[in-house]
Amino acid sequence: MTLQTVYLNGDFMPMEQARISPLDRGFLFADGVYEVIPVYQGQLFEWEAHYQRLENSLAGVFINNPMDNQAWLSVLQQLISLHPWQDQFIYLQISRGQQIPRDHLPQADLIPTVFAYTNPLKPLADSIISHGIKVITLEDIRWQRCDIKSIALLPNVMAKMQAQAAGVDDVILVNQQGYVTEGSASNMMMVKAGEIITPPLSAHILPGVTRQVIEKIANRHHIPFIEREIHQTELDSADELWLASSTKEALPICQLNGQPVADGQPGAIWKQLRQLYQNYKIQTRTRSTI
C-alpha cells in the first residue's frame, strides 16, 4: 500500500498527519473552492485550463489566489513525483481560512487554507466501455452559481445517494423549466443526427475542462458541436447520451429512467470520440516534452 503525501499550507506531510482547524471556514461554511486535475504518464493534463477555472472560481467567491501559476505548478509536480502512479488525479482545495470567532462575515485579513493530494487514476472499466452506465433524471436543486467550483456539494451528494437507491450509476439534473443542466459531477451531452449537443455555458453550468477538450476534438475532426438548451423531453429520442468529467472523460449512458437509450449500447460517435480523446492525450504529452 502506497503511503500518501499531501500538501497543506506550505508543507508536504503524510496524509495521516494533516490537520485543519475546526474553525476553518471551509469546514464551517463550505467557504472555498476546489479543482480536480488528471495526470497522465506523470504529466498534468490541460493545466492552463484548470488553472484558469481555479482563478475564476476564486474570483467568484472573493478569495485571493494564494499562489501564482508557476508556484502551483511547482507544488503539484512535486506532489506527483512523490507517488508511484503514472496516471493520477489531483484534488486541490482552497478555503478562506480560519476565523475566530465564527461569523458569517469573513474578516478581511484571513489567510487561505491550501490543501492538495493525489490518488491513482484508474482506466475506464471494461463493463462501461461495453455496456455504458445507467442514469435517472432528477430535479436540479443546486445553488445559482454552478459555474463556480464550490466545495458546497451537498445537493450533488444527495443526487448520488438517490442514484444509488434507484440502482443506477448517476443522474441527469433538470431545472424547474424542464431543461437539462448537468450530471451530479459532470457535464451532459446528447448526440442527435451526428451532432454533439450540450447546454450552453451559464451560471448554471460548470465550464468543464473535459467538455472543452471534447469541443476542441470535435471541431478538429469536423464533428458538429452545438451549444443549445436541451429539454428533458428530447432525451427519450436521443441517439446517444454522455456524461463528461475530468476523471471519467466521456461516459456513454445506455439506460435512462429504466429505458434503453437508442439500441441500449454505446454509440458510434462515442466510440469515435473515445479513440480521438486517447490520441489527444498522447499528442498533448508529446508536445509538452518537446
Catalytic residue numbers?
A: 149
Nearest to 243 by CA among 175, 174, 170: 170
CA distances from 91 to 59, 83, 275 (A): 19, 14, 26
For the beta carbon of residue 243, count every other beta carbon within 10 angstroms: 25
Q: Which amino acid is at 280?
A: Y
- What three-state secondary structure class fits 40? strand
Q: What is the largest CA-CA distance in the chain?
A: 58
Separation between Cα atoms, residue 222 and residue 18, nearest integer Å: 48
Separation between Cα atoms, residue 210 and residue 197, nearest integer Å: 14
